Structure 1
Amino acid sequence: MSGRRKAEVPASPLSVIGTGVSYIALCLAALAALALVVVPMVTGSQTYSVLTSSMAPKYAPGTFLVVKPVPFEELGIGDVITYQIESGSPAVITHRITAIGAEQSGEKVFTTKGDNNDVEDELPVREVQVKGKLFYAVPFVGFIANGLGNSDRGAMAQWGAVALMGYGVIVLVRGALAKKRNDGETGDDNRNTDDDPFVFPDLGPALVESEQSDFDDPILTDCDGCDHGHARDNTSTGRHRVETRKYTTV
């Protein structure tokens, strides 16, 4: 096996675009799951959808509202609150506090008004009616929530969060496996004979005698009465030793 490296095949533009779109979709899905499901669950907030234009244009119809419970004493003028039209009734209104007053009994009450309304709400808002203060809002998502309905919204949100997290895990695992596979292929291409003791090096064409002889041990032989001009040894027999070499045909 030679140590030559294979040419890398460049990624196609469509592949690069597809990968980028997938990661962007994954990021958006993660943000959506965080904003619409995780944060409300962790903070104990409630979610609502705007149905009218009383708080337009900032909170137009279809806006998804996350309302967080806060102590009644911490609410003040300018806060957007969600409150029950009547205590114990499921119908709610989300308006802004415009004034703080007190009943004859000394009970603290709020005067509220829709940002897009010309007049303030007719009845004051008592503590028992308040569901919480607006935490944050997400435009347009309320239309989807309205389509699911109030009874199915919570379960669908949880299953949606699970689906989004599962999709994220699948994308991350696939990316890790693809990277590992590409690294393995690159490592195989770069491997040479020094890295594998079981791979014999490519020595190229057969070596000539002068080159191959460097790998062979000399053999000493005795000859008697030869005349090839080698220097004689100092023995009385007049015999000398001739160095010959053993060649191997490759």
Structure 2
Amino acid sequence: MTVTTRAQRRREEQKTGPFWWAGQIVSWLALFTVLCLLAVMVVIPHLGGGTAYTVLTGSMRPDYPPGQLIVVKPVPVEDIQVGDVLTYQLESGKPGVVTHRVASVNSSLSGEQQFVLRGDANNTDDAPIVAEQVRGKLWYSLPWLGYLNSALSASQRTWLAWLAIGGLLAYSLVMFAGAWRDHRGKKTS
């Protein structure tokens, strides 16, 4: 027969009391939220060959307002159709990009395919672009995460991902050690 002291019972009650459960729920929700953010902002785009961008202007309102995170993925030029949302370079080979909707697909006099795009909230078309300027077609978008994307540099997002992975490993080791300690303590009593 095992004899438990009041202190042991109190410790056991504290491990399963309402504050303990509330702490567990909050910590798991926080962990789940961070992992989901990392997944949609870093991991999924990287694995899928996409690139995350932040909408900075209101030219694509109401569907893609400022602060929206958009992830674009390269597609074959032949698959681009009127109505698709593309991200393209303003000038070929330069980093500045714009995300607008395809208004028409044309051919130049030399037979090269050209795309005319327009922001959903704009009244005029953009200048025609060529295939080399297209960075990708909209894959998915998420509201407000663009602000977070803009606040963090690529290296900071990478460090955050590694920090989350390390945190998960440390948390699992602590949980394993606690379970082992509890199991060992029950055997000796």
- TM over 0.5, shorter chain: yes
Shift of 1:5: 5.3
TM-score by length of 1: 0.66
Letter in 2 for 1:4: T
User: Which of 20, 38, 59 pairs up with 1:33?
Assistant: 38
Q: Distance in 2 between matches of 1:13 and 1:123?
A: 62
Q: Distance in 2 between matches of 1:110 and 1:103?
A: 10
Q: Distance in 2 between matches of 1:132 and 1:32?
A: 22
1:175 aligns with 2:161: no
Q: Distance in 2 between matches of 1:109 and 1:58?
A: 25
1:49 aligns with 2:47: no
Give the match for residue 146 of structure 2: 142
Gaps in structure 1 of 5+ consecutive residues: 190-250
Letter in 2 for 1:177: A
Gaps in structure 2 of 5+ consecutive residues: none
Shift of 1:84: 1.1
Contact preservation (8 Å) 1:111, 1:120: no
1:133 aligns with 2:144: no
Choose between structure 1 and 2: higher helix proportion: 2
Q: How many residues of Structure 1 are paired with residues of Structure 2 in the alignment? A: 182
Residue 110 of structure 1: SS of its match in structure 2? strand
Question: What is the CA RMSD across the aligned residues, in angstroms?
Answer: 1.9
Letter in 2 for 1:45: G
Contact preservation (8 Å) 1:67, 1:134: yes
Q: Distance in 1 between matches of 2:131 and 2:174?
A: 52
Residue 111 of structure 2: SS of its match in structure 1? coil
Contact preservation (8 Å) 2:67, 2:147: yes
- Aligned sequence identity (%): 35
Shift of 1:131: 0.6
List structure 1 runs of 4+ shifted beyond 6 angstroms: none
Give the match for residue 192 of structure 1: none
Q: Deviations over 1:151-203 (max 9, x none)?
A: xx2211111110111111122222222222233333444xxxxxxxxxxxxxx
